[in-house]
Chain A
Amino acid sequence: MAAPVPPGAPRQQPPTGPPPNFQQNPNALADNFQNMNLNRPPSSNTRQPPFGQPPPFSSSAPASQRPGPFPPGAVPRPASGPPTPTLPPNMAPGRPSGAPFGQPPPFGSRPPPPGAFPSSMPPSAGSPPYGAPPPGARPSPVNMMPSGAPSGFISNGPPAPTFQGGQRFAPPGSSQQQAPMGAPPAMGPPGRAPPQAGAMHPFMGSPGAGASQVPPPSGMNQVAPTFGGPPQAMSGSVVSPYAPQMSSQPGVPPMPGSMPPPRMYGMPPPMQNQMTAISPVIGQTGGTQPGASKIDPNQIPRPIPSSSVILHDTRQGNQANPPPPATSDYIVRDTGNCSPRYMRCTINQIPCTADLLTTSGMQLALLVQPLALPHPSEEPIQIVDFGEGGPVRCSRCKGYINPFMKFIDQGRRFICNLCGFTDETPRDYHCNLGPDGRRRDADERPELCRGTVEFVATKEYMVREPMPAVYFFLIDVSMNAIQTGATAAACSSINQVIADLPEGPRTMVGIATFDSTIHFYNLKRVLQQPQMLIVPDVQDVYTPLQTDVIVPVSECRQHLELLLESIPTMFENTRTSESAFGAAIKAAFLAMKSTGGKLMVFQSVLPSIGLGALAAREAEGRSNISAGDKEAHKLLQPADKTLKDMAVEFAEYQVCVDVFITTKTYVDIASISVIPKVTGGQVYYYHPFSVVLDSVKLYNDLRWNVSRPQGFEAVMRVRCSQGIQVQEYHGNFCKRIPTDVDLPGIDCDKAIMVTLKHDDKLQDGAECAFQCALLYTTVYGERRIRVTTLSLPCTSNLSNLFRMADLDTQFVCFLKQAAREIPITPPLHVREQVTNFCINILLSYRKFCATVSSSGQLILPEALKLLPLYTLALIKSAGLRIEGKIDDRSFWINYVSSVSTPSAIPLVYPRMIAVHDLDTQEVNGSIVPAPLPLSSEHVSDEGIYLLENGQDCLIYVGNSVNPDILQQSLGVPSADQGGAEFNLQQYDNPLSKKLNEVINEIRRQRCSFLRLRLCRKGEQSGMAFFSYLIEDKVPTGGLSYVEFLVHIHRQIQMKMSS
């Protein structure tokens, strides 16, 4: 009975001996996060200096502060739409002269960044297209420029996105500038059109000889030359596909030289270098492929990461300011609208009518991430306590007070910006209005000047006392789990994580284990040791104790440690292979029922007996797939309703379930994941589980899970201004009434998509507001209402919509919808749907905003120029891979349902970097080097590459890597040595240090401890690596990027003509 380990004995850290590099600072990730823990009591709220990042906004002139940082690339994005001035820089500048972008001077010369970017548009005004564009002529100023689209296209190359658009687009006639560029060219293209068409064909697949010729739309040609010699390849290649467009657009032509300084702004980031460097190679390859030869893969649109931090004001000049890309590093100053971290809309202007929206082919939806992790340099969310009366709300729609409520009548009344109702101002809230019509105290009151505030909830918002923070751990101890070491890993992780649980008497913990029965543990302090209580009836479960299985952590720490240490040995010799997962969670739920809380389940095998047992339907499914069964995707649906019904019940009692799946076999995630999905939880998937590789990740995941900012027993509702209403919510939650979503648990990583629909016309020029209210309980038992308000202008101009489209958000909406479709629709249909989404948008743009261009050109709206690339990535993503493992796909689907925008993008479009030359690579402000395009052409046999998607991190070792490098970085003597279970360690050499630094930085960025896998060519692991290179053509029928563009173009052409 004696404890296996003497109490005083030092505890080992991760049992399995985690990789050294990790050990050094296993907590690095979480440590950082903790600083940001929203739920910490205010006192502890001191914000630590960011991770060595630039100071917050306070500094008015970022430019000055950051010497180098402000890479043009970064800025451009924010400025996205406007700065017309930029050239088609994208391509041109970079390519031709590597110098430009890399060179500091341009930046220095730049106009004032700070001011600049906010007002990017106006300033840029200088650029004719932009400001100039006669409204009439072009619906929307810059953007509208159909050219924009093409430009995007063009830009795709390297450069900063937006600008180019503007320039390119500049209708030939419209702007003088353009004129220079290629006013004529514009014309040219059309003229050429016919030939182009021919050119297109090649893409289609017929390597039309003409193809090569096609490209050179006049414009293009011009361009190419301008760039100089190098371009030849580029120009040629690029042109061919897009070329037509480009050429067509006068804007395109602009030469780097011609570009005014402002353009520099938009200058392409470092990528260019690479591009240029690579281009020759590609050219060659292109040569081999007749069809593609015309397109330079280096020229097609790809994401251009910004390596520097962007400063973003949410509103400027009382105008909503379009947010920077979700994946970029930015610091927000809340000037009325909420930070885009909390809520962002697919389009930053709201179409006035449903028809307009339909025409655009785009989605109107919000992505809400109410507890998103702020940037450390951002001002914390202010907490407002209205005392007993509670926050001021509209008496009709119950909307919360926000900066867009209009006070009238000397402040005695206010008009709700959501429903339009006029309310009396509560007497003690009255304040006179200033000359500007605002309340005089508006700037002192956070709720009147901030897009995001948190109200202290009053009794009225509670049906009971705020619940304590309850953490219940449920561990699989069936034979399989014990033998694979999963149980030991789980126990050790939990043991270490206990210290990270919120402190205080309100934090309770409980533990249970299960195999074919469920074992609870009585942790009451009076007992000399924990007592095991077994619930053997797994068909009809119950909790063995009303109290004492969940006790305050402060009272049971010793027992807990003792228990966690002894569990693996206690079950060491178990022969029980059955697993009563469903029954176990039900029993744990019953134990937690009175309080609610977080239930964390560590599961290793397919639940085989008891309540909610599942059949191993995978095998059956496999044969179906091979038999071409059209119903194969049904395996991605839950097997039955039992678990779903349970989940709904859990949610009702505020129990949030996270499932950690540590397995080597099929466990039917499709069925299991229903529980986390409905209860606001999450699935973690370690497959194939390896003690060596996954123990540390498990620990880090668990640690982040409990220490990240989060809330319990939450209810969320989104309100919209009149004319728009919420259509549906998507995400991990439970829905009992149509208007609200119930979230037993909500944390900083979870996002909810809210689709919107019109129920009326909006007025052009008016603003439309969205307010998300999240009522939740902090881990310290405070009841809060986080109110996030976003007010966007309405427009009746289609091109405005395209200009203001938010690519990331838009795409994430596709992604989530596709994920929902996958289990119920055959994969081919889903792919088609996804492709059609993309096509429809481009078609609409082509039809209504770029009418001028020739049908032979593929024209992309600048803001959405990456849409085809992302769409292609989505089609090739794990969830849509028919040949993928069912569980992998189910996990992907589940992950997507709650994924936030910043995490979603890398999931489908991973980041690949070269790491063999880390120590020699140019550093430009960011630790992580610039990513490579996801094409095998960028993977050389002499290199080592790292590819990560926020979940997994694959390190690919080429066949002929210099052994020295290999030894230095990975500690492996040669490529074919070193086991599959590979640990990254830090060695005493610059390369290794740099590599560890990079990986840790990525982990920090992703808030995820990536699973590191070593991949080698010719092995299964290598195949896995290459499957992420989505630009490649897949033998089984997946199109290459270039082919896909061609495909899209053809579809558009067909639709145009029909």
Chain B
Amino acid sequence: MSEMANMDPEGIDGVRMSWNSWPRTKVEASKCVIPLAACISPIRHHPDIQTLPYAPLRCKTCASPLNCFARVDFTAKIWICPFCFQRNHFPPHYGMISETNLPAELYPQFTTVQYTLPNPSINPQMGVDPNASPALSPSPVFVFVLDTCMIEEEFDYVRSAMKRAIGLLPENALVGFVSFGTQAHVHELGFSDMSKVFVFRGTKEVTKDQVMEQLGLTVPGRRGPAASAAYQQKGMMPNGFPSSGVTRFLLPASDCEFTLNSLLDELQTDQWPVQPGTRASRCTGVALSVAAGLLGACLPGTGARIITLVGGPCTEGPGTIISKDLSDPVRSHKDLDKDAAPYFKKAVKFYDGLAKQLVSQGHVLDVFASALDQVGVAEMKVAVERTGGLAVLAESFGHSVFKDSFKRVFEDGEHSLGLCFNGTLEVNCSKDIKIQGIIGPCTSMEKKGPNVADTVIGEGNTSAWKMCGLDKSTCLTVFFDLSSTDRSNTPGTVNPQLYLQFLTSYQTPEGQSLLRVTTVTRQWVDSTVSSEELVQGFDQETAAVVMGRLASLKMEIEEGFDATRWLDRNLIRLCSKFGDYRKDDPSSFTLNPCFSLFPQFMFNLRRSQFVQVFNNSPDETAYFRMLLNKENITNAAVMLQPSLISYSFNTLPQPALLDVASIAADRILLLDSYFSVVIFHGMTIAQWRNMGYQNQTEHQAFAQLLQAPQDDAQMIIRERFPVPRLVVCDQHGSQARFLLAKLNPSATYNNAHEMAAGSDVIFTDDVSLQVFFEHLQRLAVQS
């Protein structure tokens, strides 16, 4: 990781693969243990990417756009598609083409180019009525869904956060507001006489049609002209919006900021009484259905986000995760394992349905959950992930994890998240390559084709995916398989290169529609002949992340899946295959540098929250996994294996071993485990600091030493979304556990006597890295 820090491993394409050279056959591929996978960041920003003001030229049989790998016959004005080998004539407007006059997409360095598309509604298969999809929807849409079941203090925090957010919205952004507690309230912001609220009961599931009808949004003509025709007319004329709801429930931020602010000022916490010993009744599920229905009725097919702020578990109606009785604890992983969580499956099913609805409407669900207890993120995960939404889990709405993350969602400029809408990803690939599926924030569009594999991983059975929401950091892991036919095996007959093309169309917050085309090529290698090339093409980091994602997925969907064993077995197989050793002689075992880091990744993955879920709540696990699946490889690798930097006098900050041995009394350590950033002061440092030396001019150096990790931490935090939790702690302090939990327990109470003074021990029975390696070597060389 650190050695890659200065590199851009993803390049212009934003693609990283576990294997950069591919074995020729399915059999060989399976021997490689680590699956063939490509992690693509579809809209990652890169300065070299060209944006072309015209539409792409597509192959007439496979529809893949012209790219720099196409063979071009300039005289005949013909290009040959690298995927299907179809010969295509250039159209007239490409008439000027010549070897010296190439369009940008044919420049070899522009393997990724971006086209602007005239019309955003490029997804006829989305089921969106083409007439209904707005021709122009320049403004992003935000529907806030606010929980009102919380204590006043939290409520104040969340209200002020919302107000700030509204202030940050672009003027033309449309805003809607739903609050909920025992019941869900849809605020009609466009009603000027008084504050007007539609109330939906929390206990009853509402369908989209019911929401439309009850909000009076039925399309005139279809259900009689009765409902608010007056509104309709008002609404239709100026904006050409398809539905009256736009002027009633969704208003430009500039128009409704005042209304919303005063509404928030007057908004009260849920007024329904809560019996002692019970949880507040909270109808998160209904509120979300209603918000989804509202958007579905008003702006189907337009980029819109439902921003949910929840402060507790859903206890009412669909999506309930727990009974109201406080003596009934919220489900744990153990309950889930034992099938002792009576609400879980039902709730997941509900959110699954909601996800389908949102995806079909092209809308995004974001969840900002702040509570000490769980709120049901585990159940909501499906909806958030499928729609490409954001999730932030914090302990309190007053906590910086929430506050700063929430703010960043709306921030503009350099640090903006680059939230885009209505994305679709299509993958074209050379013959014999089969697509198994994607792990990441997207939904299968069920577009079948010859390239679709029978076995499915994640969102599969398709070569196209919907990403209702996506941002600069969104990363998808595409799993490939090879066709099992032997034809390609015949040497010499085939192109030695394989091609993959990723087409991402999306809509920017400004309303622009873009299509990014990334075409990559890799080499086929015959691993039966030599594995050298194969080995050289191995990307350990990517491979580790892919394994982490796959293990997480399997844990979720396969009952009784033992992730540790699965990882161990695969690691052993990998080492057996690619290690150099003499059979049954562990001491002879060596591993090619291309693999050398991998076992350590696996060691840390085994110990990570992704595999050792029992230390976390299902909500946390779900949250971690969503981020693991969504972040790019570098960040995901940090999640698996945190980075540790040590600061001390006389040396520059330097990476330290992720080992308890790195702790020293006169050092400051900075641990970045992605979700939290820990600044750990050695004992001596802490003492000095407590004595205030840093304030004395003669000890300026000390002050600088103290400050350095803070600065670096801030840098990390600034870059990241969600904002990580910053923990500043001292050796032997209670918060030190955030560091110790991540360190390799090379020193435990079992061998404490061997330790040097000033270092630390970890009280655990976990095996240390050394022991792990020993076992690995032994098992890898077994015959």
Same complex for A and B? Answer yes
Interface residues of A, Cβ cutoff 8 Å to B: 1, 516-517, 520, 526-537, 540, 542, 544-548, 563, 566, 569-570, 573-578
Within the assembled complex, what's the spacing in Å between the Cα atoms of A578 and B273? 33
How distant is B552 from chain A, measured CB to nearest CB, in Å? 40
Cβ of A534 and Cβ of B196 under 8 Å apart? yes
B182, B199, B204, B215 — most chain A CB neighbours (10 Å):
B199
Cβ of B193 and Cβ of A570 under 8 Å apart? yes
Measured between beta carbons, the chain B residues less than 8 angstroms from A535 are: 199
- Give the nearest-CB partner of B198 in chain A: A534
One of B101-109, B224-232, B318-326, B481-489 contacting the partner: B224-232
Cβ of B183 and Cβ of A537 under 8 Å apart? no
Cβ of B198 and Cβ of A536 under 8 Å apart? yes
A576 and B195 contact, Cβ closer than 8 Å, known pairs A528-B266, A536-B215, A542-B183: no
Cβ of B192 and Cβ of A1 under 8 Å apart? yes
Measured between beta carbons, the chain B residues less than 8 angstroms from A574 are: 230
Chain B contacts with A in 193-219, Cβ cutoff 8 A: 193-201, 204, 206, 210, 213-216
Measured between beta carbons, the chain A residues less than 8 angstroms from B198 are: 517, 534, 536
Q: Per a CB cutoff under 8 Å, which of B199, B225, B227, B259 touches A534?
A: B199
Within the assembled complex, what's the spacing in Å between the Cα atoms of A998 and B198? 51
How distant is A533 from chain B, measured CB to nearest CB, in Å? 5
A546 and B271 contact, Cβ closer than 8 Å, known pairs A528-B262, A576-B228: yes
Measured between beta carbons, the chain A residues less than 8 angstroms from B188 are: 534
The verdict on B566 contacting chain A, using a C-beta distance below 8 Å, is no
Within the assembled complex, what's the spacing in Å between the Cα atoms of A574 and B231? 9
Cβ of A576 and Cβ of B183 under 8 Å apart? no
Cβ of B214 and Cβ of A542 under 8 Å apart? no
How distant is A522 from chain B, measured CB to nearest CB, in Å? 8
Cβ of A547 and Cβ of B271 under 8 Å apart? yes
Q: Per a CB cutoff under 8 Å, which of B194, B213, B225, B268 touches A530?
A: B194
The verdict on B614 contacting chain A, using a C-beta distance below 8 Å, is no
Q: Per a CB cutoff under 8 Å, which of B197, B206, B225 touches A531?
A: B197
Measured between beta carbons, the chain A residues less than 8 angstroms from B227 are: 516, 575-576
Measured between beta carbons, the chain B residues less than 8 angstroms from A570 are: 193-194
Beyond the given pairs A544-B183, A577-B226, 19 more chain A to chain B contacts, judged by CB atoms under 8 angstroms and listed by A's residue number, are: A1-B193, A1-B195, A516-B226, A517-B216, A529-B194, A529-B195, A532-B195, A532-B196, A536-B199, A536-B216, A537-B210, A540-B204, A542-B199, A546-B272, A563-B194, A569-B193, A570-B194, A575-B228, A576-B227
1/0 contact trace for B171-205 toward A, CB 8 Å?
Answer: 00000000000110100100111111111110010
How distant is A524 from chain B, measured CB to nearest CB, in Å? 8
- Give the nearest-CB partner of B192 in chain A: A1
Measured between beta carbons, the chain B residues less than 8 angstroms from A569 are: 193
Within the assembled complex, what's the spacing in Å between the Cα atoms of A825 and B273? 51
Cβ of A533 and Cβ of B199 under 8 Å apart? yes
- Give the nearest-CB partner of A535 in chain B: B199
Measured between beta carbons, the chain A residues less than 8 angstroms from B228 are: 575-576
Cβ of B226 and Cβ of A537 under 8 Å apart? no
Within the assembled complex, what's the spacing in Å between the Cα atoms of A819 and B530? 105
Measured between beta carbons, the chain A residues less than 8 angstroms from B226 are: 516, 575-578
Measured between beta carbons, the chain B residues less than 8 angstroms from A578 are: 226
Within the assembled complex, what's the spacing in Å between the Cα atoms of A574 and B194? 16
Measured between beta carbons, the chain B residues less than 8 angstroms from A531 are: 194-197, 266
Within the assembled complex, what's the spacing in Å between the Cα atoms of A573 and B201? 28
Task: Provide a sorted-by-A list of 13 A–B residue pairs whose CB atoms are within 8 angstroms.
Answer: A516-B226, A528-B266, A531-B194, A534-B196, A534-B197, A534-B198, A536-B215, A537-B214, A542-B199, A546-B273, A563-B194, A570-B194, A575-B228
How distant is A540 from chain B, measured CB to nearest CB, in Å? 7
Measured between beta carbons, the chain A residues less than 8 angstroms from B199 are: 520, 533-536, 542, 544
A517, A520, A563 — most chain B CB neighbours (10 Å):
A517
How distant is B237 from chain A, measured CB to nearest CB, in Å? 16
Measured between beta carbons, the chain B residues less than 8 angstroms from A529 are: 194-195
Measured between beta carbons, the chain B residues less than 8 angstroms from A563 are: 194
Measured between beta carbons, the chain B residues less than 8 angstroms from A546 are: 182, 271-273
- Give the nearest-CB partner of B228 in chain A: A575
How distant is B165 from chain A, measured CB to nearest CB, in Å? 23
How distant is B501 from chain A, measured CB to nearest CB, in Å? 48
Within the assembled complex, what's the spacing in Å between the Cα atoms of A192 and B359? 103
Within the assembled complex, what's the spacing in Å between the Cα atoms of A478 and B215? 16
Cβ of A573 and Cβ of B192 under 8 Å apart? no
Cβ of B196 and Cβ of A537 under 8 Å apart? no
Measured between beta carbons, the chain A residues less than 8 angstroms from B204 are: 537, 540
Within the assembled complex, what's the spacing in Å between the Cα atoms of A501 and B478? 72
Measured between beta carbons, the chain B residues less than 8 angstroms from A530 are: 194
Cβ of B185 and Cβ of A533 under 8 Å apart? yes
How distant is B485 from chain A, measured CB to nearest CB, in Å? 58
Within the assembled complex, what's the spacing in Å between the Cα atoms of A540 and B317? 15
Q: Per a CB cutoff under 8 Å, which of B194, B201, B225, B262 touches A566?
A: B194
Chain B contacts with A in 223-279, Cβ cutoff 8 A: 225-230, 259, 262, 266, 268, 271-273
Cβ of A575 and Cβ of B229 under 8 Å apart? yes
Cβ of B195 and Cβ of A537 under 8 Å apart? no
Cβ of A542 and Cβ of B225 under 8 Å apart? no
- Give the nearest-CB partner of B202 in chain A: A542
Measured between beta carbons, the chain B residues less than 8 angstroms from A544 are: 183, 185, 197, 199
A566 and B193 contact, Cβ closer than 8 Å, known pairs A517-B214, A535-B199, A537-B204: yes
- Give the nearest-CB partner of A515 in chain B: B226
Measured between beta carbons, the chain A residues less than 8 angstroms from B192 are: 1
Within the assembled complex, what's the spacing in Å between the Cα atoms of A577 and B225? 10
Within the assembled complex, what's the spacing in Å between the Cα atoms of A533 and B230? 21
B193, B228, B271 — most chain A CB neighbours (10 Å):
B193
Within the assembled complex, what's the spacing in Å between the Cα atoms of A823 and B259? 54
How distant is B319 from chain A, measured CB to nearest CB, in Å? 18
A520, A532, A546, A578 — most chain B CB neighbours (10 Å):
A532
Within the assembled complex, what's the spacing in Å between the Cα atoms of A531 and B259? 13
- Give the nearest-CB partner of A587 in chain B: B199
Cβ of B271 and Cβ of A536 under 8 Å apart? no
Within the assembled complex, what's the spacing in Å between the Cα atoms of A587 and B661? 69
Within the assembled complex, what's the spacing in Å between the Cα atoms of A528 and B226? 32
Measured between beta carbons, the chain A residues less than 8 angstroms from B185 are: 533, 544
Cβ of A542 and Cβ of B194 under 8 Å apart? no
Measured between beta carbons, the chain A residues less than 8 angstroms from B266 are: 526-528, 531
Measured between beta carbons, the chain B residues less than 8 angstroms from A516 are: 216, 226-227
A537 and B200 contact, Cβ closer than 8 Å, known pairs A544-B183, A546-B273: yes
How distant is B570 from chain A, measured CB to nearest CB, in Å? 53
How distant is B208 from chain A, measured CB to nearest CB, in Å? 14
Cβ of B201 and Cβ of A537 under 8 Å apart? yes
Measured between beta carbons, the chain A residues less than 8 angstroms from B271 are: 545-548
How distant is A538 from chain B, measured CB to nearest CB, in Å? 8
Within the assembled complex, what's the spacing in Å between the Cα atoms of A576 and B220? 13
Within the assembled complex, what's the spacing in Å between the Cα atoms of A537 and B186? 13
Within the assembled complex, what's the spacing in Å between the Cα atoms of A544 and B196? 12
Within the assembled complex, what's the spacing in Å between the Cα atoms of A831 and B282? 61
Within the assembled complex, what's the spacing in Å between the Cα atoms of A517 and B199? 10
Measured between beta carbons, the chain A residues less than 8 angstroms from B273 are: 546
Measured between beta carbons, the chain B residues less than 8 angstroms from A575 are: 225-230
Within the assembled complex, what's the spacing in Å between the Cα atoms of A563 and B215? 22
Measured between beta carbons, the chain A residues less than 8 angstroms from B213 are: 536
- Give the nearest-CB partner of A541 in chain B: B201
Measured between beta carbons, the chain B residues less than 8 angstroms from A573 are: 230
Within the assembled complex, what's the spacing in Å between the Cα atoms of A534 and B187? 10
- Give the nearest-CB partner of B182 in chain A: A546
- Give the nearest-CB partner of A609 in chain B: B226
Closest 9 CB pairs of A and B: A536-B214, A544-B199, A532-B196, A534-B198, A531-B195, A542-B201, A570-B193, A546-B272, A575-B229
Cβ of B262 and Cβ of A532 under 8 Å apart? no
Within the assembled complex, what's the spacing in Å between the Cα atoms of A528 and B259? 13
A528, A533, A536 — most chain B CB neighbours (10 Å):
A536
How distant is A61 from chain B, measured CB to nearest CB, in Å? 65
Within the assembled complex, what's the spacing in Å between the Cα atoms of A529 and B195? 8
Measured between beta carbons, the chain B residues less than 8 angstroms from A576 are: 226-228
Within the assembled complex, what's the spacing in Å between the Cα atoms of A570 and B199? 19
Cβ of A1 and Cβ of B194 under 8 Å apart? yes
